[in-house]
Structures are given as C-alpha cells and as structure tokens.
Amino acid sequence: MIIPAIDLIDGSVVRLYQGDYEQKTQYEFDPIDVVKDYAAQGAKWLHIVDLTGAKDTNKRQLSLIQRMVETGLMQFQAGGGIRSENDVKQLLDIGVKRVVIGSLAVKQPELVKSWFEQYGPESIVLALDVNINDNGDKMIATHGWQEDSGVSLEALLSDFLSVGAKHVLCTDISKDGTLQGANTALYQAMQAEFPSVQWQASGGIGSLDDIRALKPANVGGVILGRALLEGKFTVEDAINVWQSE
C-alpha cells in the first residue's frame, strides 16, 4: 500500500532533512487540501507527523488533525512525541486509527507494551529509526535521531512480538530526505525474519523506480513524503506502480 505522509508545524506542511528542525522546508499547501488531493488520487491512508506536538505535547495540533480525520476521505496514522497514555487516547478519540510511537518504545518498552494490550496491536505503529553501522548492526536511534539507544532493531521487535506488534514503520536514517532510493535489502531481511509484521518502508524514495525496487521486499506499506510534495511523481502514479505486476 502507498501511504503519503505529511509533517506539520504550527498548521503548516513542512519537511525536515534527516530530522533536523534547522533544515526545514515549508510548503504552501493547506493540510486539508492535501488530504482531499491525495484521497482523490486513490490514497487510503495518510501518515501524519505532528512536529509541533513532538517538541511540546501541550501544543499538539489535535484540532487540525481532527479536521483532517473528519473529512472522512481516508484512514489516518499519526504521531510525534507520544509520551503518555493520554497522548495515545487523545489521538484515538478524535478518530485516528493508528498512533505512531517511536522513542518511547525503546525508553519505556513495558509502558508501551501495556498500551498494545489495552488498545490492541491494530491501534499502534512502532516507528523505529535505525542507523546501520559498519558491522551491519541495525541500531535504533531516539530523540530526533540525536541518540543511539544501544538497542538493535531485532531485539526490540522480538520483545514487542510478545504483545502482538503488527505494524512497524522502519526508516534507514541515512536515506531519509535524500530521494536516492530506499534500503530495499533492509526490508527484505526484516520481512524474512519477522513475517508476521506489516513493514512500512520509509526514507529515500525519490522516483517510481525506487518504488518498483521495493516490491520484492513485500512490505505492507510505502511511506512517501518529500517526493510527492516536490512533484517528483503523483500519488496516483505511485499506486499504479505498486499495484502493477
């Protein structure tokens, strides 16, 4: 499935380069118009990152996200600095189908596992951002990619399988925002090792060929951000490529 993504700061659609707030590109798009446009082109899901809420949970853009959900045009997964059960509940209460949880799954795994048990594995996406070192170790980074957690992707996921973790958005940090192609080998390896997981590939996709290259990895979703905003191709183009034989 093709999953368009938008990042929001103070109501505006933006993109960060490799998670850096200082390397921000702002686009002159109204978020509601983006929802309508992407839905009209066939998108069934939208991935929302609330960057304002990630910096300050008291400023979470709930009213805007709720207006996006209330269009009724697609399903939504949303995150950005989820730190408490209240954060999870607020998003689910306004109609978000899946809450995206990143750093907290590494820092407080038992807490996050309790949310899986309470809300069900369909309601949570683990967003795991990895740096791959010279030895090929896939180490999860946290806090906007500023810190190496010391925890491997495989170890964390093995732990979360105990509560039925099903949706994992995995980003190779070195690829994010580069438009130079996704790390197909990473997703192929992870799909083989964890076949029960619906993997969402994220980072680096800049062309339709990059989408084609991901097909053998058999991922559940392909996250597209900057390439769509910059007109490299359309959502409709991407869906057609993904669905073609």
Alpha carbon distance 8, 229 (integer Å)? 13
- Centroid of chain to Cα 213: 19
Alpha carbon distance 237, 217 (integer Å)? 20
Alpha carbon distance 61, 8 (integer Å)? 8
Q: Which of 50, 56, 93, 129 is the catalytic position?
A: 129
Residue 137 among the catalytic residues: no
78, 118, 116: which is closest to 98 by C-alpha?
Answer: 78
Residue 50 among the catalytic residues: no
Which residues participate in catalysis according to the annotation?
Answer: 7, 129
